[in-house]
C-alpha cells in the first residue's frame, strides 16, 4: 500500500492535502511535511469557515499562510490525500465535493476508529500520530527527509503525544524523534513555539474556565462549560479552548474530564480526556470518536441539557 501511495502521488497532476476540521498540530504538521515532499503541485486545505484560521501558535510552520480554505478552494484536484482525518464526516462542505470528485483518494491516519473511507487507506490505529505514520512511510520507501519535512513531522508527533507523555509513545516513537533531531530539528525551539507562546487571552480564558470547573463523583469527574458570551468577554477564539480539558484531567483524583462548549444552533461540542478509561466509549454514544484518552463529540442540545446527558453516560464509566 505504501509503495502504491507514492506511485499515485508521483502520477498525480494536482494534489489536495485535506486537514481535519479544527486543525491541530498533527494534521497541520503532517500536511506540511507532505506538501514539502510533493512540492508545487500540492495544496493544503484548511477546513475553516469564513474569517477563521488555524491556531495561531502554528504560524511558524511553512505553507500554512498560503493554504486554501473552504472559501477559496477550487474543484481542480485529481488526487486528494486526507491526513489525520478520522472519518468522512470530518470532510465538510465543498471539501466533500472535491473529495467525491477526485479520481484518487488517499487516507493516511492513526485513529483506531478510522474505517478507511478512501480508495487507498494507510491507517495504523494506535500509533502516536499521523506524523509518525508518515515518517515510517518516507523511511520505508527510502525518501529523503529534509529538515523542513523533519520539523513538520516533529510538530505532529510532539503535539499529538502531549510532549511524549501518552501511552502511544513507544521506543520507536522516541527513536523517530531522535532521528528527526539528527536531521537538525531544534526540539527545544519547537517545544517553546508550541507551548510557551500562547496569547494572553488564551491563558487568561483558560484560567477562568478552570476556576469555574465543577468536580463530582468524589472528584473523579471534572467538567467546565464554555459559553460564547464568556469567550467574547475575554476575546478568546475557538482554538483558545484547546488544553483546558488536559488541565482538568491533571488534578490527581480526576479520572474523566469534559469541556462542553456552545457551538451554535443549540448544539454543544464536547472534548473529553481520561487517565485510564477509554473515552471513545462515551464519545461513540453521541456519534463521536477519537482516541482512548482523548475523544470528542457534538451533542445536538443546548449546553445545559447536553451536560445532563453526558454526565449520565459518564457516571456509568466511573
Ligand atoms: Mn492525530
Instruction: Report the distance separating Cα 285 and Cα 130, nearest Å.
Output: 25
Instruction: Report the distance separating Cα 44 and Cα 77, nearest Å.
Output: 11
Find the 26 Cα to ligand 1 centroid distance in Å: 5
**Dihedral, 63, 64, 70, 73 alpha carbons, nearest 10:** -10
- pLDDT of 276-303, one tens digit each? 999 999 999 999 988 889 999 999 999 9
State yes or no: pLDDT of 233 exceeds 90. yes
- Delineate the domains of the chain, giving CATH numbers in brackets: 2-195 (3.90.1640.10), 200-315 (3.10.310.30)
Find the 109 Cα to ligand 1 centroid distance in Å: 7
State the cell numbers at 295: 475523544
State the pTM of this model.
0.90
Find the 84 Cα to ligand 1 centroid distance in Å: 5
In the structure, ligand 1 is a single-atom ion and the residues with CB under 5 Å from it are 26, 84, 160
Residue 259 has φ and ψ, to the nearest 5°, of -120, 120
For residues 32 and 64, is the Cβ–Cβ distance under 8 A?
yes
- pLDDT of 77-101, one tens digit each? 999 999 999 999 999 999 999 999 9
For residues 193 and 206, is the Cβ–Cβ distance under 8 A?
no
Find the 295 Cα to ligand 1 centroid distance in Å: 11
Find the 63 Cα to ligand 1 centroid distance in Å: 19
State the cell numbers at 76: 481542480
Instruction: Report the distance separating Cα 265 and Cα 254, nearest Å.
Output: 31
Q: How many Cβ atoms from other residues are within 10 Å of residue 283's Cβ?
A: 23
DSSP code at position 20:
P
Find the 130 Cα to ligand 1 centroid distance in Å: 5
Amino acid at each position: 500500500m505504501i509503495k502504491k501511495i507514492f506511485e499515485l502521488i508521483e502520477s498525480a497532476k494536482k494534489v489536495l492535502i485535506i486537514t481535519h476540521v479544527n486543525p491541530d498540530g498533527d494534521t497541520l504538521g503532517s500536511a506540511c511535511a507532505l506538501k514539502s515532499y510533493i512540492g508545487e503541485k500540492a495544496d493544503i486545505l484548511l477546513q475553516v469557515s469564513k474569517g477563521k484560521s488555524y491556531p495561531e501558535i502554528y504560524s511558524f510552520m511553512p505553507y500554512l499562510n498560503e493554504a486554501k480554505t473552504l472559501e477559496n478552494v477550487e474543484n481542480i484536484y485529481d488526487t486528494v490525500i486526507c491526513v489525520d482525518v478520522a472519518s468522512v464526516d470530518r470532510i465538510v462542505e465543498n471539501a466533500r465535493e472535491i473529495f467525491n470528485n477526485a479520481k484518487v483518494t488517499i487516507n493516511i491516519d492513526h485513529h483506531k476508529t478510522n474505517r478507511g473511507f478512501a480508495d487507498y487507506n494507510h491507517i495504523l490505529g494506535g500509533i502516536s500520530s499521523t506524523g509518525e505514520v508518515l515518517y515510517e512511510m518516507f523511511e520505508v520507501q527510502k525518501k529523503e527527509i529534509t529538515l523542513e519535512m523533519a520539523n513538520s513531522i516533529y510538530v505532529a508527533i510532539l503535539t499529538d503525544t502531549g510532549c511524549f507523555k501518552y501511552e502511544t509513545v513507544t521506543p520507536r516513537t522516541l527513536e523517530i524523534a531522535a532521528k528527526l533531531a539528527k536531521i537538525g530539528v531544534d526540539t527545544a525551539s519547537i517545544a517553546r513555539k508550541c507551548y510557551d507562546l500562547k496569547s494572553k487571552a488564551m491563558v487568561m480564558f483558560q484560567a477562568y474556565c478552570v476556576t469555574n470547573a465543577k468536580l463530582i463523583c468524589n472528584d473523579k469527574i471534572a467538567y467546565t462549560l464554555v459559553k460564547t458570551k464568556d469567550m467574547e468577554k475575554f476575546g478568546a477564539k475557538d482554538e483558545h479552548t484547546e488544553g483546558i480539558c488536559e488541565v482538568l484531567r491533571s488534578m490527581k483524583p480526576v479520572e474523566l474530564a469534559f469541556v462542553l462548549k456552545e457551538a451554535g444552533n443549540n448544539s454543544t461540542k464536547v472534548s473529553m480526556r481520561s487517565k485510564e478509561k477509554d473515552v471513545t466509549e462515551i464519545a461513540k454514544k453521541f456519534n463521536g470518536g477519537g482516541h482512548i484518552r482523548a475523544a470528542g463529540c457534538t451533542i445536538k442540545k443546548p449546553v445545559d441539557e447536553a451536560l445532563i446527558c453526558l454526565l449520565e453516560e459518564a457516571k456509568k464509566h466511573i
